[in-house]
Structure 1
Amino acid sequence: MRILFSGTPAYGHLLPLLPLERAARQAGHTTAFLTHASLGEVVAPAPVLGAGATLEETLGEFQRRTGKNAATDMSPATAGEFFGGTRVDLGADEALAAARDFAPDLVIAETADFLGPLVASQSGVAWASHGVGIALEAPLAEAMWATAAARAAGRGVTLARPVTSVDPWPDCLQRDDWEPAADRVTIRPEAHESETGTDWQVPSFPGREHLPRVLVTLGTIIDDADALTRIVTSLTKHDVNVVVALPPSAEGDRLPVDGAGDGVHVTGFVPMGLLLRGVDAVVSSGGAGTVLSVLGDGIPMVIWPMGLDKPLNAERAAALGAAEVIGAADEAGDAVARVLDQPSFRTAAGAAARNIAAMTPAPEVLALLTERRG
């Protein structure tokens, strides 16, 4: 079978698809990703069918058209026009041409992507929706769908509904009023580990091995050296070792932290599966992929939510008792001290890890999708 995976050109939208793509490839299926070519290293060794603009270019075009910043405003109207409109406008021709050449038997598209559903609908093949975080609220999902359906209709295509909704977000982290979709299938999220290899080594912190290790990451999109420096400075007031993961866009791997000494190690982008080894607590901005990876390993968190879905992710993790939420970078050190000192945080994180481990593994989800495609 030929399976096409489709997603917005951003780490947080593509990485959640990798476990299912890997399962498909290992089962002997032919796979490819429909996204911007610049994300080729992220999804390797799967090939990329290049389509559309980069995320930055799409944000710029959207702002030119509307005067709004989709990176900070995710109201239904903005999200609908950004994901269902501007991104489709900039990528539809290339996506349709690429899909004709690839000739997929099944398309799997992440929740905010509508190029995949467009090519599936025109080709007459089934497609499945794959979540990347907490379930979208109905007004947001409906606005995105309505705009994308209108763009598809303008090309003479009726946008078909997905045959299945694949969801990596565990029940324990959903909203209190959440109800699962009738076609929902859970998939166990996995912390990213590159198949193409890396030369990164877990730092050793000589003479400080007995101290807790704290990972600091603001995710793959936020590039704020000042915020990271303030977080790390607050942590150096406590007896901990600190690993700071910079975003892919950062230049070099240095961070100016006065008095950091031997207790701080700064690195460029490293797969989360490696970064979490030996970690006792994580300070993050609350991105969906980070929250799922960290809780999947049973590690407690301190979250400084920085926009979009992050405040809600932080709220749900805190409601479990697995995270403390802070309102400023300078609060990170004291919050980490509390999280490390109070066993209840690790107990709650461990319970979340067991819930995540009980979700459906990717090979079983793949089997379900191949059955449901008709």
Structure 2
Amino acid sequence: MRLIFTSLVSHGHLYPLLPLAVAARDAGHDVLFATGDEMLPVVEKAGLVAESAGFGMHAAFVSFFGPDAEPRATDGPPESFYPVIGEVFGNVLPRRFVADLEPLLERHRPDLVVYESGNAGGAIAARLAGIPAIGHGFGRFSPGEVIDVINGRLAEFAGEVGFEGVELPSFGDPVVDICPESVQAPDFLAGANRIPLRPVSWAEPGDLPAGVAGRDKSRPLIYLTLGTAFGDEGVLKRAIGGLAGIDADVIVAAGPTVDPAGLGDVPGNVRVESWVPQADLLPHADLVVHHGGSGTTLGAFGTGLPQLVLPQGADQFTNAEAVVAAGVGAQLIGADATKDAIHEQARKLLADDAVLGAARKLADEVAAMPSPAEVAQRLPEFAG
């Protein structure tokens, strides 16, 4: 069977699709992955054939609004940017992906398109080509006003190309859901044709920081990251200051948006890296302090780790709420995320048996979800 996978052009949207794409290839299917140029090397490192389609989120903002229009957290209240975000994610990105995917689908004529749920252009392009399609979530489906704005603009674009009254955000397609049911959004569970898939952490191959594998396990290891898109030097500095005062080792992944040198000298129990192989590091950690990105949140769910979430944007706020509701962690938002508050919350989480028990229960739920290999065997069911 011929398959085309397609995702938006970012680590957080692409990585969740790679386990199923690789499993489908290993099952003997002909797999092609279509995403923007910046992510093609990542796909190729996974051993998959890749072709260019779409462009990155920053390029989408700049192409439509100019270089000064991309929202920044310090520019105003989040709701002031909803129209801009709705235009980019509900029109600019889908329109570009449809334009790029149409000739690609014509050349390859796949039996099935697997589109990442944020990439509505993949769903529309498949419909225009008359090819069956399924969605693939990248985490918890997060309802909210900004999603409503995006879906409103997307409905307009879908109507423009001939699809009036489509069911959004899933277009009525089955959806591969990598979020454990107990923490998934109830509204999504109520209406979705859901294909559960165990969230498998994906990271580019690399070595763990020195000393992690053979460390003294009587001393906790705290992993701190703000991810690949929302890194903030000030937040990281406060978090490092708070965590360094705990009798623990701290590993910091600064990410591509923060220069480690800008963090200055750090205490002896803190180690700063530009990047770490997160999937390999999580099993060694005792606590994750992070931004609430879907990949890190789900990775911590699967590893049974307590979480302290410092949300910075996008779906991170609803992910943080889900962490708290599940009893597996705490959140600190905005001005509440002080050095002292981070210290106190992290210290409590490391010692809270109830939180650890809830985290282990959630890890058991994740382990019981179908594997990528199992779901790959089902894909012909959806090809029509």
* TM-score of the superposed pair, with normalisation by structure 2: 0.86
Long gaps (5+) in structure 2: none
- Aligned pairs for 1:74-85 (under 5 A) are 78-85=84-91
**Per the alignment, do residues 94 and 43 of structure 1 end up closer, same or farther by CA in structure 2, a change over 3 Å counting?**
same
Secondary structure of residue in 2 paired with 1:189: coil
Identity of aligned residues (%): 29
Aligned to 2:51: 49
What residue identity is the alignment partner of 2:115?
Answer: A
**Per the alignment, do residues 48 and 153 of structure 1 end up closer, same or farther by CA in structure 2, a change over 3 Å counting?**
farther
Deviation at 1:141, TM superposition (A): 5.8
**Per the alignment, do residues 226 and 77 of structure 1 end up closer, same or farther by CA in structure 2, a change over 3 Å counting?**
closer
Aligned to 1:59: 61
Q: Is the 8 A contact 1:70 1:82 kept in 2?
A: no
Find out whether 1:232 has 2:240 as its counterpart. yes
**Per the alignment, do residues 209 and 243 of structure 1 end up closer, same or farther by CA in structure 2, a change over 3 Å counting?**
same
- Aligned pairs for 1:94-105 (under 5 A) are 94-105=100-111
Find out whether 1:13 has 2:19 as its counterpart. no
Aligned to 2:292: 286
Aligned to 1:26: 26
Secondary structure of residue in 2 paired with 1:243: strand
What residue identity is the alignment partner of 2:244?
Answer: T
Aligned to 1:244: 252
Runs of 4+ in 1 over 6 A off after TM superposition: 157-160, 205-208
Aligned to 1:342: 352
Deviation at 1:371, TM superposition (A): 0.8
Q: Is the 8 A contact 2:8 2:54 kept in 1?
A: no
Q: Is the 8 A contact 1:62 1:68 kept in 2?
A: no
- Aligned pairs for 1:133-212 (under 5 A) are 133-137=139-143, 144-145=150-151, 147-148=153-154, 150-152=156-158, 154-155=160-161, 161-175=171-185, 179-194=189-204, 197-204=205-212, 210-212=218-220
Q: Is the 8 A contact 1:220 1:247 kept in 2?
A: yes
Aligned to 1:373: 383
User: Could you tell me how far apart the structure 2 residues matched to 1:209 and 1:290 are?
Assistant: 22
Of residues 270-279 and 56-65 in structure 1, the stretch that sits farther from structure 2 once superposed is: 56-65
**Per the alignment, do residues 168 and 103 of structure 1 end up closer, same or farther by CA in structure 2, a change over 3 Å counting?**
same
**Per the alignment, do residues 88 and 358 of structure 1 end up closer, same or farther by CA in structure 2, a change over 3 Å counting?**
same
User: Could you tell me how far apart the structure 2 residues matched to 1:65 and 1:204 are?
Assistant: 42
What residue identity is the alignment partner of 2:51?
Answer: L
Tell me the alpha carbon deviations over residues 162-190 of structure 1, each in whole angstroms, 9 at most, x when there is no partner. 53111111121134666433511111101
User: Could you tell me how far apart the structure 2 residues matched to 1:265 and 1:153 are?
Assistant: 52
Q: Is the 8 A contact 1:109 1:117 kept in 2?
A: yes
Deviation at 1:347, TM superposition (A): 0.7
**Per the alignment, do residues 316 and 59 of structure 1 end up closer, same or farther by CA in structure 2, a change over 3 Å counting?**
same
**Per the alignment, do residues 217 and 232 of structure 1 end up closer, same or farther by CA in structure 2, a change over 3 Å counting?**
same
What residue identity is the alignment partner of 2:294?
Answer: A
Secondary structure of residue in 1 paired with 2:250: strand
- Aligned pairs for 1:292-311 (under 5 A) are 292-311=298-317
**Per the alignment, do residues 242 and 190 of structure 1 end up closer, same or farther by CA in structure 2, a change over 3 Å counting?**
same
Secondary structure of residue in 2 paired with 1:340: helix
What residue identity is the alignment partner of 1:328?
Answer: A
Secondary structure of residue in 2 paired with 1:180: helix
Deviation at 1:153, TM superposition (A): 5.0
What residue identity is the alignment partner of 1:55?
Answer: M
Q: Is the 8 A contact 2:61 2:67 kept in 1?
A: no
Deviation at 1:92, TM superposition (A): 3.1
User: Could you tell me how far apart the structure 2 residues matched to 1:8 and 1:74 are?
Assistant: 24
* Aligned-residue RMSD, C-alpha: 2.9
Tell me the alpha carbon deviations over residues 304-329 of structure 1, each in whole angstroms, 9 at most, x when there is no partner. 12122212111111112110112314
User: Could you tell me how far apart the structure 1 residues matched to 2:146 and 2:383 are?
Assistant: 26
1:332 to 338, 342, 347: 342
**Per the alignment, do residues 356 and 115 of structure 1 end up closer, same or farther by CA in structure 2, a change over 3 Å counting?**
same
What residue identity is the alignment partner of 1:278?
Answer: H
User: Could you tell me how far apart the structure 2 residues matched to 1:56 and 1:137 are?
Assistant: 23
Long gaps (5+) in structure 1: none
Q: Is the 8 A contact 2:287 2:306 kept in 1?
A: yes
Aligned to 2:263: 256
Q: Is the 8 A contact 1:295 1:353 kept in 2?
A: yes
More helix by share: 2
User: Could you tell me how far apart the structure 2 residues matched to 1:69 and 1:51 are?
Assistant: 24
**Per the alignment, do residues 266 and 80 of structure 1 end up closer, same or farther by CA in structure 2, a change over 3 Å counting?**
same
Secondary structure of residue in 2 paired with 1:185: strand
2:231 to 212, 223, 233: 223
Q: Is the 8 A contact 2:309 2:330 kept in 1?
A: yes
Q: Is the 8 A contact 2:27 2:376 kept in 1?
A: no
What residue identity is the alignment partner of 1:47?
Answer: V
